[in-house]
Amino acid sequence: MEAPNNDQLRVLLEAVVSFIDEGVIVADLDGHIIYHNPAAAALLGAARNKPLTSLHEVLGIAAGQSIDGALAQAARAGGQTTELTDFVRFQRKLMVNGESRYLELHSCQTCELVGKTRLMIIRDVTERQRLEMLVDRSRGDLVTNDRRLLSLLERVHQVAPSTASVLLQGESGTGKTHIARLIHRLSRRSDRPFIEVNCAAIPTSLIESELFGHVKGAFTGATRDRPGRFQAASGGTLFLDEIAELPMHLQAKLLRVLQDKEFEPVGSDKTTKVDIRLITASNRDLHDMVDDGDFRADLYYRLAVFTLNVPPIRERRGDIPLLLQHFCENLEARGYQAGVVCSPEAMQILMNYNWPGNVRELENAVEHALICSVDGVVRPESLPEQIRVSVLANQSRPVVHNAIEGVGADEEAQARRDIERALVQSNGNRSAAARMLGVDRTTLWRRMQRLQIMAPSHT
């Protein structure tokens, strides 16, 4: 059967691959491009109405260099060990329309049916590559095999490319700041500023100036104009930690920034425009604060477009051995003794401890344990005293199942009745119900979620 000529091949390809999302390029063995579909031009950032003409240009290789040799070299650099160039796969990072884009290229020589040509398939793997890079770079507080935390990371991947506001809820020390940084790194603003502000660490009298800036003479000591954190983060991401501590009068100003993207610095009547992506975090339940009148409802709903609840370490105890190993490796890199192992008795204490300080407390405990290890072994006495005392005290107490911690069928039924009674008596106010039950609001909320209990409406 006679092979089709280039014109016939082009007609065939136009009918088959013009409308698929993957880029398709067909070139002769010298690198002259016979055909490419619109997707290939778009993926490679070609100017409109300017066709691709040369594989040398597409691959970024010198005009006199062998394409087979360049492909083999690219494949080896990407980990493909075969020397064959009939089929190779590799990745290229390109700047397309001002953005970094990762493309995966598959190249092979076509069969004799369509003549001696080279077929190249191009896929955009930018989002996958970004996620893989983030996982590699985020081995700190997010070392995990826990199903809930892995699911949270998947949701981080979903929300990061958007501009939606993200609210991180969880106890202190669970890694909310780390997650905020991951969202920024995975976002389309990753090459722009990431500004962190802890609202609880700034005096109330200074927080407005810190966030929004001030002009010279705005108050005593304002000797020059000073831009605030919003201006510093413009074009990038602003992370407001402990947002629950923001004074009520500034909550209205923050709401305006989110709605109108503008504000006035302290002492100024000139409006400043900003473009920021806002991430906030709180170790207090903002929804409960809204119910209690301590946080603006309209601001809460602006902040909580996408809410992520970070689980405490006591709810993912299976991660404790992984985190121990990770922290030991980090400490070894800082010069601590290598090869230290944890005795079963010490590990049992670590697994039974409640970890109120979460991952941050665990990291400190590991450093303490390495310092106090005996002959390369972490023993119970190597652990911080408060951890040993707490675990031993709990072990010596009789087992009592209260309304929140019931585990058996009867206890769970009793827990449900007690929680529902407290919610009714408190008119649906979870803060008041938690006080009746002798627990904090976060614990009550978590048990309500587990038992699928809905708070009654206020009357």
Summarize pLDDT for 132-155 with one digit per residue, the tens: 655 554 444 478 888 888 889 889
Top pLDDT among 271 and 17 is at 271
Are 109 and 226 part of one and the same domain? no
| Residue 164 lies inside a defined structural domain of this protein | yes
* pLDDT attached to residue 4: 58
* pLDDT attached to residue 140: 46
| Residue 160 lies inside a defined structural domain of this protein | yes
Top pLDDT among 372 and 416 is at 372
**What CATH number does residue 145 fall under?**
3.40.50.300
For 147-161, 249-263, 398-412, which range has the lowest pLDDT when averaged over its residues? 398-412
Residue 263 belongs to what domain range?
A: 131-309
pTM of the model: 0.61
Inter-residue contact 258 to 166 (CB < 8 Å): no
Top pLDDT among 278 and 146 is at 278
Average per-residue pLDDT for the chain = 83
Summarize pLDDT for 62-97 with one digit per residue, the tens: 877 888 777 777 767 655 554 444 678 888 777 777
Are 279 and 320 part of one and the same domain? no
Summarize pLDDT for 315-346 with one digit per residue, the tens: 999 899 989 998 998 899 888 999 999 999 99
Residue 448 CB contacts under 8 Å (≥ 6 apart), including other chains: 419, 430, 454, 455
Are 385 and 442 part of one and the same domain? no
Are 143 and 240 part of one and the same domain? yes
Residue 297 CB contacts under 8 Å (≥ 6 apart), including other chains: 290
